[in-house]
Amino acid sequence: MASDFHPANRGVAAHWDGATTRAWADAHELIDRRFVALTRSLFAAAAPKSGERALDIGCGAGTTLLVLARAVAPGGRAVGLDISARQCAVADARIAAESVGGASTLVADLSIHDFGATRFDLAFSRFGVMFFADPVAAFAKLRAAMAPGGRLCFGVFRAADLNPWATRMGDAVRDLVAPPPPSSSPPGTGQFSWADPARVRTILGDAGWHDVSLDPLDVAIPIVGPEGIDEALDFALNFSPLARAMASAPLESKVPVVAAMRAWLDGVKRERGGALPAALWIVRARR
């Protein structure tokens, strides 16, 4: 457990350890299969090099941490920081299972963590920066831990309407499920909270970062991949606002939802070749 939290981030660890979000840890393969192309683009932009000290912010189940660790070898180190002990435990198990040297995790709230004398050459994140209640505090803390010339590179989503891969799943069954209970992540945070480029520039500028750039990345997300409809259904039911709605729904109401979702996924496969668009910003800055 992280011993301390920024006051506004109390509850965030519980949120990310909780029933409706822990699929990010327990079923990371489902999301990783869909994020292959965008992850490749993020790493091309971050350009980790051997010997570097790298930080993976909000590392989750460790998929990108493992990539980072391999990229900075030999001689480098990759630290995955996450507020959720559950996510870090999965990452730790994968580091051990794959015998990846130079990788470790840290359960901590980035907003208040004191890195001491540790310095990083690269701070990277795949969707791990959108949930800080006080993002300026978090990015100022991070900047203080960067070596001179240190690079920041992370991916965040652009607007919801540009990301049908994420928003359409809920639409497909809207009439069949009660609206999901409100997310327990802090106000002003969430999947699309970094969509406004002016806000991104203000946060990073106020936190002291320089040379801030935002590059759009448009990719197709394979909602129904080669693994087939059952796997896609598993993804849809675990990784969407639907997961929150379904968690509290009575059993009998789940049956028609699953049937409707299956029909919708069939349609995506038939009409769209199984893929839907996603839109990101690749954000870069220098210390």
Ligand X SMILES: C[S@@+](CC[C@H](N)C(=O)[O-])C[C@H]1O[C@@H](n2cnc3c(N)ncnc32)[C@H](O)[C@@H]1O
76 binds ligand X (CB under 6 A): no
Closest approach, Cβ 146 to ligand X, in A, equals: 16
Closest approach, Cβ 131 to ligand X, in A, equals: 4
Select the span of 53-61, 163-171, 217-225, 249-257 touching ligand X (CB under 6 A): 53-61
Distance CA 110, CA 125 (A): 12
Closest approach, Cβ 153 to ligand X, in A, equals: 13
123 binds ligand X (CB under 6 A): no
Which of 115, 120, 124, 131 forms a contact with ligand X (CB under 6 A)? 131
Q: Long-range contacts for 10-15 (Cβ within 8 Å, ≥24 apart)?
A: 11/184, 11/186, 12/83, 12/109, 12/131, 12/133, 12/185, 12/186, 13/83, 13/84, 13/85, 13/109, 14/184, 15/183, 15/184, 15/185
Closest approach, Cβ 253 to ligand X, in A, equals: 27
CB under 8 Å to 205, separation ≥6 — which residues? 212
- Residue 96, classified by CB atoms within 10 Å of its CB into exposed (0-12), middle (13-18) or buried (19+), is exposed
Give the footprint of ligand X on residues 1-40 (CB under 6 A). 9, 12, 16, 24
**Hey, which bits of the chain come out as E strands?**
53-57, 77-82, 103-107, 120-126, 146-157, 210-222, 275-286
Distance CA 232, CA 236 (A): 6
Which of 83, 137, 203, 280 forms a contact with ligand X (CB under 6 A)? 83
| The length of the chain, given as a count of residues | 287
Closest approach, Cβ 218 to ligand X, in A, equals: 18
Smaller CB separation from ligand X, 169 or 176: 169
81 binds ligand X (CB under 6 A): yes
Q: Quick count: other Cβ atoms within 10 Å of Cβ 115?
A: 18
What secondary structure letter does DSSP report for 91?
H
Which of 82, 92, 121, 134 forms a contact with ligand X (CB under 6 A)? 82
Closest approach, Cβ 223 to ligand X, in A, equals: 17
Give the footprint of ligand X on residues 54-73 (CB under 6 A). 58-61, 63-64
Closest approach, Cβ 238 to ligand X, in A, equals: 13
Smaller CB separation from ligand X, 12 or 166: 12
- The count of residues interacting with ligand X (CB under 6 A) is 23
How far is the first Cα of the chain from the last one, in angstroms, to the nearest whole number?
29
CA triple 62-231-225, angle to 5 deg: 85
111 binds ligand X (CB under 6 A): yes
Where do contacts with ligand X occur on this chain (CB under 6 A)? 9, 12, 16, 24, 58-61, 63-64, 81-84, 87, 109-111, 126-128, 131-132
